[in-house]
Structure 1
């Protein structure tokens, strides 16, 4: 799968489902209604990974920009509108998409910090801001990213008449981007606002039962028996050898492309320009490196020899994903439940202190929630297949035995 195929998935030329088309109409009506309001207005789309949120946004923004640039009768004619996403890899795809559409310009797509800082400097306001992956918006000062205010959503609301958000609380991964329903409500409750929930899973061709099993694993910390239809229309496998899993992913990559190995935290990792390796028995591969190119990490051929992290794969589809559940997650010795080992977490950037969080118990709870969110996100990358390997020997044994119980274990040795 090439960059063009990633763009095709988001292309406004593709048809929407009737639900998605109705939602685009609803948000367009909301936007035109509130363009001249005395306060900003907020429309929030809530949905899990793979429910088509970004597809809706692309169609919506293309429609808004067509009215802005070509429809003198529209209330949106000659308005100033921007599409923001706080993820450099995803921004690359949107800008590439803009280059292929006559109504979209690359400059329409911005990082939130860049847009906020520029509008502050110019003392200007815009009409509409669309925010993809709003769960990545900073909710505290971050000097590293040149953001000197308290909250990016609050700052966007000061500078736009209408803000349209896509939010997935199960993709909150860092303290500096801490979002919960309560925290969002606190900010938008005083403004006109509407919300819509998308629930249908589009990304994975997996059965609803397998998706439910994955959610139970990450949300309830529980290892249920695998559903009998776990492999129905979907290549789901559990490996007890990480190197065998890697070789299978390499084969899938040769056959259909866009297949990669991904891992949770728990292995040495520092953004210092050097290579840091994940080792599991015969398996030894380096973490992904910072990607300076315009091509998303997963679409660079050489990254078949790297292990992707949550930061390079979030928001992207893979055809096949080989997932390493690292040392940060293990099975409790006395039950079929998971434990989160905070002392094994190796992503030092994720859990920086916040002035508004002081209760140690709440902080630990949030850390565990974010670690399991990260696992949930990487478990849902594979469109056609997901292969699993666990570092923890007990968890590995339990998962392998659940897989073997269906007579599927011979699959992993071919």
Structure 2
């Protein structure tokens, strides 16, 4: 969708007559919706600069111009497009416009820091942004692919004064990969930008390239399909077994049915920790893309998206693969059935409203079903960890029925985490008094390293040793300590301090890599928000004062949660309205949080509780479990010996 399109001649006249911005505003309101004044001022300012650039008489008058092209299946918009031809190819030059005055280098790939209206913030490098937008169009527009239309990305920072002698952070060598792909032009370099445009736009095309981009058939390119398939092939992390394969084939069948019969299909897959939900989701993402369907992997929490995106890329740089991984709030204004398939992992984390201030859209479940032909929800209702989490099988069914989507329900049983033991997961539920299970005193096959430490420092040292094996051991904690850093990358700030044991650690920091796979992450402590949906070999879990053992029971105390944790926002006002409901909700969230943390380890889980009584209680439970297992083993040995006799 394009907000404004014209020939170069028409564009220059609209700017000269001062009608361009009004045309853009009217078209924007008609095609997209309301617009804010800041965006209007931005257009007015930037288009004056582009007017000066396009005044060059050697840029053909009948070349095409487009402003604010919305890339299909994304919320991204390209600022300025120029279409035409050189001696060989049909070309479209992409110009990403920025009004920035200053830039700071950031130690993250393709990321810089600049000043916005409300202060400094990190954002994508302009060259990365222009290049990734061009790559997205190439990867999803079949007409661009078939007719070999070349997209040429660039960035124009018309207010930014580049000082190469002092070492311009915008041109730092760490960004060179992207700057080479999409050259940057700054204040005083309009002549260079003109020369760049004229290199590719020698002849006009009367907006033909613009038309083909806007109206081209949308489907994943063969190169994207092949790249994804090759990355997945032979990767042990993504191999499916048992009922995963059954659900995989069922999902493919339902996706095909939705396309073939033009009916909505919804598949709900229930599965506990370690049942391989994410492995199955990634396999389906790749296979449905290979089948030329437009599909995205969706989670509320960014941590699993970031990790699986990187794992899928292998040695590739940050590329258009990122468009396959989206947040759950991406669909509140998506058109009906825009996507062939949306695969939602961690569906229990879905919210009602979207946006930074939770003021956008109606309901994320409804929006996901509405905007897709086939929707797949992986869910574990015992992993809701905030008051905003509304994902439930009941709600999914409700909105599926409302939108006339056929429902299929399945369940994943195979266990990969906790050394394949259903019993350990039941034991954790019993320990946390989430539900009464048969695994009160033990579980079959005690092949799992489960320990309670009296000293958190000793637990940390053991995790450090185990992490040397393959960088898959991590420290985790309940959110009972404030985030003192306030978002700053300062590992010298120790958020979690237990002075009597000389223990201090910093909450997980932002770095080049996601915390779950970062090389130095063993020296930082993860919270529920950076670990949910992921797994490690070993975890050391610190249980804070929000979970205690009193009068023979495990109790929760939401007042001990850190103020910087938003999981229980609104709990105090809620309790005033409905004490019973909100007290129960807070209790569930705290127990679910520790259930999630205690089930992140595949080979072992170490525990330290700030509440001494709880520490002792868990030690007793483990001893009972070990004793029960020993009796069980001896009984089995005698039975086998007697049978042989």
Q: TM-score, normalised by structure 2?
A: 0.54
Distance 2:239 2:616 in 1: 44
The superposition leaves residues 88-120 of structure 1 with CA deviations (integer Å, 9 ceiling, x where unpaired) of 221122322443599x94422222334555x36
How far is 1:264 from its partner? 1.0
Distance 1:353 1:10 in 2: 47
Q: Is the CA contact (8 Å cut-off) linking 1:12 and 1:58 kept in structure 2?
A: no
Q: 1:351 aligns with which of 568, 583, 588?
A: 568
- Gaps (5+ residues) in structure 1? 1-6, 69-78, 409-414
- 2:605 alignment counterpart: 386
Equivalent residue of 1:185, what SS?
helix
- 1:46 alignment counterpart: 270
Equivalent residue of 1:186, what SS?
helix
How far is 1:29 from its partner? 1.1
Distance 2:351 2:377 in 1: 14
Structure 1 position 325 matched with structure 2 position 325: no
- 2:617 alignment counterpart: 398
Structure 1 position 215 matched with structure 2 position 429: yes
How far is 1:402 from its partner? 4.2
The superposition leaves residues 30-53 of structure 1 with CA deviations (integer Å, 9 ceiling, x where unpaired) of 111122556532111111110011
The superposition leaves residues 384-403 of structure 1 with CA deviations (integer Å, 9 ceiling, x where unpaired) of 11111111111112223444
Structure 1 position 279 matched with structure 2 position 492: no
In structure 2, relative to structure 1, the CA distance for the partners of 1:356 and 1:227 (3 Å cut) is closer
Equivalent residue of 1:60, what SS?
helix
Q: Is the CA contact (8 Å cut-off) linking 1:35 and 1:127 kept in structure 2?
A: yes
Q: Is the CA contact (8 Å cut-off) linking 2:385 and 2:592 kept in structure 1?
A: yes
The 5 Å alignment of 1:2-401 reads 11=235, 14-35=238-259, 40-68=264-292, 79-100=293-314, 105-114=321-330, 116-117=332-333, 119=334, 125-144=338-357, 148-190=360-402, 191-205=405-419, 207-220=421-434, 226-227=441-442, 232-269=446-483, 272-273=486-487, 275-280=493-498, 281-293=500-512, 295-332=513-550, 334-335=551-552, 337-346=553-562, 348-353=565-570, 358-401=577-620
In structure 2, relative to structure 1, the CA distance for the partners of 1:157 and 1:372 (3 Å cut) is same
Moved more, 257-266 or 281-290: 281-290
In structure 2, relative to structure 1, the CA distance for the partners of 1:152 and 1:405 (3 Å cut) is closer
Distance 1:13 1:201 in 2: 14
How far is 1:311 from its partner? 0.9
Moved more, 375-384 or 238-247: 238-247
Q: Which has the higher contact order (CA 8 A, sep 6+)?
A: 1
Distance 2:529 2:278 in 1: 17
> How much is the aligned-residue C-alpha RMSD, in angstroms?
3.3
Q: Is the CA contact (8 Å cut-off) linking 1:262 and 1:322 kept in structure 2?
A: yes
Structure label with greater radius of gyration: 2
Q: Is the CA contact (8 Å cut-off) linking 1:273 and 1:289 kept in structure 2?
A: no
Distance 2:607 2:237 in 1: 35
The superposition leaves residues 346-379 of structure 1 with CA deviations (integer Å, 9 ceiling, x where unpaired) of 2541123499995221111111111111101110
Q: TM-score, normalised by structure 1?
A: 0.82
